[in-house]
Amino acid sequence: MQLSSNSQVTFNFHYQKEMRNLFVMAIMAFSLSYTACQNGGEFKTANGNTVINHTKKQGPKITYGETVLINVNTWLNDSLVQSTVRDNGGPREFTMPDSSMMKNRVPAVFDALLYLANGDSATVLQPVDSIMARSIKNDFGDVKNVRFEVKVVDVLTAEKIAARQAEQQQKIEAQKAKGVEVAELVKTTLADYKSKKLGAKLEKTASGLEYVIIEKGAGAPIKDGDKVPTHYFGVLKTTGDMFDNSYDRGNPIPFTVGSLVEGFNEGMKLLNRGGKAVLFIPYQLGYGEQGAGPIPAKTDLVFYLSMEE
């Protein structure tokens, strides 16, 4: 069909106007997407992780090489499988890897941090691929995404890092000093045990574990599968010689209940978080007839436990 010259002019005018409108709409869509990435909202990273920024804090985004203090809760469906507060007593310090290392299988939390600012809270959804699926137990059901709840507590400057290191060193020294007190408590309790002076304070379970509760603890009951930061001081029952303790390390050890020797596991479950006890573990509930490391075969043990909250 042939168009008249007037019709052709009209057509060209409307066509150009429509193209301008489409171009403006495309620019607006790009701007909205860019703004979502920069200022918060829900978006997907280049690595396929979904980030939902709940706070949209102003300020520069975290970048490569910076050191951050973050709290992270990791969920598989409705199961909390890892928590920096629950398992480690507070936020953890991480240094963002160099950009050359942030390729291929980038950890989802690190991937998301590049879009967050100091003080931000975000949900990060990492799709479960075939490799990850092989490591997830069937108990968790059909897991489509690993969910991370991330809170940026602080972005640490060199001065803040130095101050934290000094504070940590003070805590380590304080814990070592506490270890000296605990050593004396264990020595006295073991002597009272051998001289039968503990009386009604000494209790015994059906398995043969003997124990003295110092404090039951005001926190939540401890059960199998819990990861609990634990201070301990272990000695050989026959000689009282110390073979291992956490106080010299300066920090409690996050133990998973059920993964240790039977007597230790049972003793942990006698307490709540915040509880303290002395355990007298017969070798059958300890390292058995073989022993382990500095522990000889068929050796009864004594442990002081302090379950941190």
Q: Do 22 and 135 sit in the same domain of this protein?
A: no
The mean-pLDDT minimum among 68-72, 86-90, 121-125, 137-141 falls in 86-90
Query: Using CA atoms, how far apart are residues 265 and 19, in angstroms rounded to an integer?
Result: 71
> Does 150 fall in a domain?
yes
pTM exceeds cut of 0.75:
no
Q: Do 140 and 213 sit in the same domain of this protein?
A: no
Query: Which pLDDT value is given to residue 286?
Result: 97
Q: Do 218 and 302 sit in the same domain of this protein?
A: yes
> Does 166 fall in a domain?
no
Helix (H) or strand (E) holding 229: strand 227-236
pLDDT in tens, 21-39: 444 444 343 344 444 444 4
Q: Do 85 and 50 sit in the same domain of this protein?
A: yes
Query: Using CA atoms, how far apart are residues 171 and 174, in angstroms rounded to an integer?
Result: 5
Tell which wins on pLDDT, 270 or 8.
270
Q: Do 197 and 288 sit in the same domain of this protein?
A: yes
Residue type at position 106? V
Residue 51 structural domain: 41-156
> Does 213 fall in a domain?
yes
Q: Which is nearest to 303 in space by CA: 181, 207, 219, 190?
A: 190
Q: Do 297 and 223 sit in the same domain of this protein?
A: yes
pLDDT in tens, 225-267: 999 999 999 999 999 999 999 999 988 999 999 999 999 999 9
Query: Which pLDDT value is given to residue 102?
Result: 64
- CB-CB contact of 189 with 240 (8 Å): no
> Does 300 fall in a domain?
yes
Q: Do 184 and 228 sit in the same domain of this protein?
A: yes
Query: Using CA atoms, how far apart are residues 190 and 279, in angstroms rounded to an integer?
Result: 10
pLDDT in tens, 117-165: 999 999 999 999 988 899 998 889 999 999 999 999 999 988 888 998 8
Q: Do 85 and 176 sit in the same domain of this protein?
A: no
Q: Do 273 and 188 sit in the same domain of this protein?
A: yes
Tokens 């503990």 sit on residue: 198
Question: Across residues 281-298, what is the average pLDDT?
Answer: 96
